[in-house]
């Protein structure tokens, strides 16, 4: 619907030449019935200038200046009835045909010209500065923005609104430029400023404020998906707040947008990159990081590259190039190959492999340490010791060789101590067929029941007292996918094991002290008491090896029993996960668990003669040995201690980008259907052909990419940026889908204005402040926001801007306004993220026991953007006001209005505390008269003085609240805290709470 309305608007907007209007009347009467909207016949829509210019499936339909070769004309004049348009309808009158012809011959005025020539989507044609339109009411125009807006309004027969009052204006522009409402004094100064340029001077003051950077960092941080944790299941903390502070600072010093771009995308690659420039590259380190055990390190790294391509192209190009990860873009001219060419720019990251213990490794990208000088000294000392130890632990010496030979001998003796247990009877309780194999192992076949229990009996007497029993799970080609389990994937799950000693039919349970397997920890199950004893996930080929489980017995088993009964219970919630092939053995050795020291994957290597092992095999085995080598125990302990000390030095770090040195062209593998697991052709770094050409001489790396983004002929970057500015001011962009400038996105309501602003932005040296200044000093921006019934009917979303903007402020600003009105707000800029009050239970995560510990002092009252952002558990009072979780790049926030927001601002202890502070403030500052107190409270919240009727209502409410509290002093004491004037204080707190909850308080008007 919004779309239809927009098309209608775009139509009248572009109907500049009178003859185009006539042509449109003809098209509407005869053609639009079939040729309209996205599903127009032949892919052709004739219901807007843009659509006409774009053409249909067979290309453009208008060849400007050449009617005879314009398909549209050809079809309306064709003599062939099967071709002539309208198909099956009455032919156009001669007059109409002549008019269409004349219009095309005359250059088809009214169509976007480049589009008409090339058939290219408007957004891929670089903006050219359009002429500023002439308007009747020239007196209203303060700068060219107004001419574009007014030209359209005049066309629609609408009048702009009068200028807003000064009280309204200073609050509006303060919220827009610094995100904090004006103080009463600032408002008074402005009201009393008699300079003709009082408003412009106010704007300059605000643009120079250090809080300007804070306010404008917020939308940028949504794009950058900035947060303080890694995301995913574990969602551990990370340190990257220096990047957030860099954004604030860069905006404050009005770092030109081209440099702003280059430093964030490639600051590390600049010659002699400064620390600040390296910090800026945190933009693309705000990717999530999945530390779960089972995650493949290569795939995880690749997922980050995907996010970098998608975020970078959304933030700068307003494009959904991300769609081409899996297939060529279905609507926009981006191919899958181009997607991976973009990815290639990010593919050369300088990462280190980090061992996460158990069996998992991750790639860790660069971290910039920002130590104090003292910290640097201590860090260097520790680091050199750590380096030495790490080298020692990595280095196989002749001594270790000797020790390893000894260890291998010991392991062989260990192996020899295990004696096969001959199973004399094996039966399944659910019908599985169990058969003995030649090597003494047993194979399961036949019916595969959902759950099953194998009962194994060993009758042969064993010579010594047993200390442990071992179960081996063996792969077998007869099992699904080679086993060792029986489910569709070859997995099994042993949920319980029982050992019993049976004498003359009497079964005596044998306690199992420990059950330990050689397939690493089962991470997700480890804390559950009812976790299965042993599960093998054989779904990856390299995991499909013989594995073992050692059951250490609670006490040694003597030979008094005649039978040993071992019961294997397969009770998994997943169906059919029985063991497929298994073997039993037992030992009387003292250290049975040592049988697991050789990793399962390396067992075949271990069993080879040393001289038969390849170099890689030998080195893998030595590596495994060093992890258990007794002579290295002390070094391993030292390393751990030194690491702990290093970690506890408290050096500030931040995540940055870094590339490896290379002389090769950067490349990436295409991924068939966008799947990491199916690599395709290798492609080299490059940019989409539909956009600007790669400038000569730029390096094909991130630095080149950044410069390409901000090159003069990039058709998107400038438009996308100015559109986002516009969106912040007016509640919607000139292109409403600010995240998608492609064919599926909305068309601009004011295309010429968009282009004019885009060109102006570049011409003014990419100064963001210059564009902000231009917008806020326009007459368009300065209009009153009153909604007349006529405007509500004709333009309910205010797309034509016949009035000023009016909408609820964003989540962070709700907090800032309330804290500011109450006088609690800390104006401290930057620093680590803070922990204001948050209700209990919000941080309740499955794999993380991190706690929200409330900050002390002024850090409890910092601006919203400094609140610690945990991706999986966002700050509730902000998410209720539509703040995103920062897991992905967010261009536009939704704006909702729900009772949950009302409950938050009424009852959240933060807001209640603010009401208390506001009450105290008005009592302290406004003198004893209730009228004065009420007026000050109202003004602090809404920015204006109350009208007499409003003042009366507030004072009456105060009086009735006070009477209530006087009747119930115990309640007053709870609200106000102990004190002589409880009832009075409590009443003012209630009044303050109410005023803080007014629509006007949380609205930019």
57 is an interface residue for other proteins by CB under 8 A: no
Q: How far is the CB of 991 from other proteins (least distance, A)?
A: 7
What proportions of the chain, in percent to the nearest 5, are helix, strand and coil? 45, 10, 40
Six-digit token pair at 1002?
Answer: 């949380």
Among 436, 903, 924, 981, binds other proteins (CB under 8 A): 903
Distances (CA, A) of 931 to 923, 928, 953, 1001: 11, 9, 10, 19
Among 96, 336, 822, 904, binds other proteins (CB under 8 A): 904
Q: Which residues ranging from 921 to 950 are in contact with other proteins (CB under 8 A)?
A: 948-950
The smaller minimum CB distance to other proteins, of residues 630 and 899, is found at 899
| 336-344 and 297-317 helices, crossing angle to 10° | 100
681 is an interface residue for other proteins by CB under 8 A: no
The smaller minimum CB distance to other proteins, of residues 257 and 781, is found at 781
665 is an interface residue for other proteins by CB under 8 A: no
The answer to whether 812 and 863 are in contact (CB under 8 A) is: yes
Q: Which residues ranging from 479 to 518 are in contact with other proteins (CB under 8 A)?
A: 481, 487-489, 491
Q: How far is the CB of 347 from other proteins (least distance, A)?
A: 19
808 is an interface residue for other proteins by CB under 8 A: yes
The answer to whether 108 and 62 are in contact (CB under 8 A) is: yes
The answer to whether 227 and 736 are in contact (CB under 8 A) is: no
Distance between CA atoms of 291 and 357, rounded to whole angstroms?
12
Instruction: Return the closest-CA partner of residue 94 out of 76, 81, 74.
Output: 76
Among 15, 342, 817, 912, binds other proteins (CB under 8 A): 912
**Part in contact with other proteins (CB under 8 A); list of ranges 424-432, 571-579, 598-606, 762-770:** 571-579
| 615-626 and 398-416 helices, crossing angle to 10° | 80
The angle at the Cα of 516, spanning 510 to 520, to the nearest 5 degrees, equals: 165
CA 823 to chain centroid: 33
Among 574, 694, 837, 847, binds other proteins (CB under 8 A): 574
Instruction: Return the closest-CA partner of residue 334 out of 315, 359, 317, 353.
Output: 317
675 is an interface residue for other proteins by CB under 8 A: yes
The answer to whether 602 and 624 are in contact (CB under 8 A) is: yes
Q: How far is the CB of 804 from other proteins (least distance, A)?
A: 11
Residues in the chain: 1005
The smaller minimum CB distance to other proteins, of residues 96 and 798, is found at 798
Residue 777 three-state SS: coil
The CB density around residue 889, as the number of other CB atoms within 10 Å, is 20
The smaller minimum CB distance to other proteins, of residues 294 and 604, is found at 294
The smaller minimum CB distance to other proteins, of residues 168 and 855, is found at 168
Q: How far is the CB of 508 from other proteins (least distance, A)?
A: 37
208 is an interface residue for other proteins by CB under 8 A: no
880 is an interface residue for other proteins by CB under 8 A: yes
The angle at the Cα of 842, spanning 839 to 845, to the nearest 5 degrees, equals: 155
**Part in contact with other proteins (CB under 8 A); list of ranges 61-69, 197-205, 221-229, 984-992:** 984-992
Q: How far is the CB of 293 from other proteins (least distance, A)?
A: 13
Q: How far is the CB of 345 from other proteins (least distance, A)?
A: 24
Six-digit token pair at 614?
Answer: 């390849």
383 is an interface residue for other proteins by CB under 8 A: no
Q: How far is the CB of 111 from other proteins (least distance, A)?
A: 25
Q: Which residues ranging from 306 to 335 are in contact with other proteins (CB under 8 A)?
A: 326
614 is an interface residue for other proteins by CB under 8 A: no
The smaller minimum CB distance to other proteins, of residues 320 and 701, is found at 320
Q: How far is the CB of 743 from other proteins (least distance, A)?
A: 13
The CB density around residue 554, as the number of other CB atoms within 10 Å, is 12
Q: Find the helix or strand (DSSP H, E) in which 425 lies.
A: strand 425-428
Six-digit token pair at 57?
Answer: 């499936």
The CB density around residue 648, as the number of other CB atoms within 10 Å, is 8
| Residues 6+ away with beta carbon under 8 Å from 587 | 417, 418, 419, 466, 467, 468, 470, 595
Q: How far is the CB of 826 from other proteins (least distance, A)?
A: 23
The smaller minimum CB distance to other proteins, of residues 170 and 976, is found at 976
Distance between CA atoms of 76 and 268, rounded to whole angstroms?
60
666, 669, 673, 674 alpha-carbon torsion, rounded to 10°: -50
Q: Which residues ranging from 858 to 877 are in contact with other proteins (CB under 8 A)?
A: 876-877
Terminal-to-terminal C-alpha distance of the chain? 27
The smaller minimum CB distance to other proteins, of residues 72 and 158, is found at 158
Instruction: Return the closest-CA partner of residue 727 out of 213, 3, 223.
Output: 223
Q: Which residues ranging from 11 to 30 are in contact with other proteins (CB under 8 A)?
A: none
| 948-967 and 969-976 helices, crossing angle to 10° | 120
Q: Which residues ranging from 949 to 978 are in contact with other proteins (CB under 8 A)?
A: 949-950, 952-954, 956-957, 960-961, 964-965, 968, 970-976
529 is an interface residue for other proteins by CB under 8 A: no
37 is an interface residue for other proteins by CB under 8 A: no
787 is an interface residue for other proteins by CB under 8 A: yes
The smaller minimum CB distance to other proteins, of residues 268 and 487, is found at 487
Q: How far is the CB of 237 from other proteins (least distance, A)?
A: 20
Place of tokens 């920890």: 521
999 is an interface residue for other proteins by CB under 8 A: yes
Distance between CA atoms of 76 and 92, rounded to whole angstroms?
7
Per-residue contact track with other proteins, 131 to 160, x per CB under 8 A? ------------------------------
554 is an interface residue for other proteins by CB under 8 A: no
The smaller minimum CB distance to other proteins, of residues 658 and 964, is found at 964
Among 537, 645, 850, 931, binds other proteins (CB under 8 A): 537
Among 59, 839, 927, 979, binds other proteins (CB under 8 A): 839
920 is an interface residue for other proteins by CB under 8 A: no
């Amino acid at each position: 619907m919004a779309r239809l309305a927009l098309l209608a608007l775009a139509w009248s907007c572009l109907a500049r030449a009178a003859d185009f209007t006539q042509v449109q009347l003809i098209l509407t009467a005869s053609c639009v019935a079939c040729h309209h909207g996205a599903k127009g016949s032949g892919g052709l829509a004739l219901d807007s200038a843009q659509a006409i210019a774009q053409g249909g499936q067979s290309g453009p339909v208008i060849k400007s200046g050449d009617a005879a070769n314009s398909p549209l004309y050809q079809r309306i004049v064709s003599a062939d009835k099967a071709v002539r348009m309208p198909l099956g309808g009455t032919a156009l009158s001669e007059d109409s045909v002549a008019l269409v012809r004349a219009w095309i011959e005359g250059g088809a005025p009214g169509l976007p010209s480049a589009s008409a020539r090339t058939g290219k989507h408007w957004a891929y044609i670089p903006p050219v500065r359009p002429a500023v339109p002439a308007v009747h009411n020239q007196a209203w125009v303060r700068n060219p923005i107004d001419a574009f807006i007014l030209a359209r309004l005049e066309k629609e027969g609408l009048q702009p609104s009068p200028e807003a009052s000064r009280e309204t204006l200073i609050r509006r522009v303060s919220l827009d430029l610094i995100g904090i409402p004006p103080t009463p004094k600032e408002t008074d100064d402005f009201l009393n400023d008699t300079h003709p340029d009082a408003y412009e001077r106010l704007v300059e003051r605000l643009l120079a404020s250090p809080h300007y950077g804070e306010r404008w960092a917020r939308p940028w941080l949504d794009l950058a998906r900035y947060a303080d944790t890694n995301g995913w299941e574990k969602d551990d903390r990370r340190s990257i707040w220096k990047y957030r502070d860099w954004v604030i600072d860069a905006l404050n010093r009005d770092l030109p947008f081209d440099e702003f771009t280059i430093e964030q995308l490639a600051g590390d690659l600049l010659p002699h990159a400064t620390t600040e420039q390296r910090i800026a590259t945190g933009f693309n380190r705000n990717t999530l990081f999945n530390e779960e055990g089972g995650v493949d390190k290569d795939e995880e790294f690749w997922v980050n590259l995907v996010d970098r391509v998608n975020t970078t192209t959304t933030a700068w190009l307003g494009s959904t190039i991300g769609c081409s990860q899996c297939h060529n873009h279905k609507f926009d001219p981006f191919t899958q190959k181009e997607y991976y060419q973009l990815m290639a720019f990010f593919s050369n990251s300088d990462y280190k492999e980090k061992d996460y213990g158990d069996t998992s490794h991750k790639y860790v990208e660069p971290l910039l340490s920002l130590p104090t000088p003292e910290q640097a000294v201590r860090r260097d000392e520790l680091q050199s010791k750590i380096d030495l130890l790490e080298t020692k632990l990595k280095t196989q010496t002749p001594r270790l060789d000797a020790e390893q030979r000894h260890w291998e001998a010991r392991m062989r003796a260990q192996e020899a101590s295990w004696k096969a247990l001959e199973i004399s009877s094996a039966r399944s309780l659910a019908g599985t067929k169990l058969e003995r194999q030649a090597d003494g192992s047993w194979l399961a076949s036949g019916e595969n029941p959902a759950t099953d229990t194998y009962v194994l009996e060993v009758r042969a007497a064993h010579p010594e007292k047993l200390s442990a029993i071992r179960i081996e799970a063996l792969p077998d080609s007869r099992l699904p996918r080679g086993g060792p389990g029986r489910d569709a994937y070859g997995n099994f799950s042993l949920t319980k094991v029982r050992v019993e000693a049976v004498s003359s039919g009497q079964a005596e349970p044998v306690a199992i002290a420990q059950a330990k397997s050689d397939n690493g920890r089962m991470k997700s199950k480890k804390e559950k008491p009812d976790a299965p004893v042993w599960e093998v996930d054989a779904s990856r080929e390299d995991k499909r090896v013989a594995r073992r489980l050692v059951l250490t017995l609670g006490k040694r088993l003597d030979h008094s029993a005649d039978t040993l009964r071992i019961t294997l219970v397969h009770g998994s919630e997943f169906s059919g996960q029985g063991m497929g092939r298994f073997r039993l053995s037992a030992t009387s050795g003292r250290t049975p668990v040592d049988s697991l020291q050789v990793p399962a994957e390396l067992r075949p290597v271990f069993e080879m003669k040393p001289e038969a092992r390849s170099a890689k095999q030998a080195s893998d085995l030595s590596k495994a040995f060093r992890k258990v080598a007794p002579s290295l125990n002390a070094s391993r302990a030292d390393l751990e201690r030194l690491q702990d000390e290093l970690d506890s030095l408290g050096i500030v770090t931040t995540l940055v980008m870094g590339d490896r040195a290379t002389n090769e062209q950067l490349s990436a593998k295409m991924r068939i259907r966008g799947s990491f697991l199916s690599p395709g052709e290798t492609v080299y770094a490059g940019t989409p052909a539909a956009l600007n050409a790669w400038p000569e001489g730029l390096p094909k790396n991130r630095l080149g990419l950044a410069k390409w983004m901000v090159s003069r002929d990039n058709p998107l970057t400038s438009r996308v940026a100015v559109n986002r500015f516009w969106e912040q001011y007016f509640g919607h962009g000139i292109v409403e889908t600010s995240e998608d400038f492609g064919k599926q996105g909305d068309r601009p309501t004011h295309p010429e204005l968009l282009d004019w602003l885009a060109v102006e932005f570049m011409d003014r040296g990419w100064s963001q402040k210059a564009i902000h200044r231009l917008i806020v000093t326009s007459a368009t921006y300065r209009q009153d926001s009153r909604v007349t019934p006529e405007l509500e009917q004709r333009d309910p979303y205010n797309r034509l801007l016949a009035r000023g903007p009016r909408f609820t402020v964003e989540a962070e600003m709700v907090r800032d306004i309330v804290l500011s009105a109450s006088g609690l707000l800390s104006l401290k800029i930057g620093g680590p993220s803070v922990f204001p009050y948050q209700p209990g239970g919000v941080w309740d995560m499955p794999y993380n026991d991190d706690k929200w510990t409330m900050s002390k002092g002024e850090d409890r009252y910092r601006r919203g953007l400094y609140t610690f952002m945990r991706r999986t558990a966002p700050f509730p009072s902000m998410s209720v006001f539509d703040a995103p979780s920062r897991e992905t790049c967010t261009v536009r926030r939704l704006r909702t209005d729900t009772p949950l927001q009302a409950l938050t601002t009424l009852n959240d202890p933060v807001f209640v505390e603010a009401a208390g502070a506001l009450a105290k403030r008005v009592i302290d500052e406004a003198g004893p008269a209730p009228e004065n107190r009420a007026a000050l409270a109202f003004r602090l919240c809404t920015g204006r003085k109350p009208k007499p009727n409003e003042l009366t209502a507030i004072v009456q409410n105060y009086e009735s609240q006070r009477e209530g509290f006087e009747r119930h002093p115990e309640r007053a004491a709870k609200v106000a805290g102990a004190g002589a004037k409880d009832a009075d204080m409590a009443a003012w707190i209630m009044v303050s709470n109410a005023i803080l909850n007014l629509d006007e308080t949380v609205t930019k008007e």
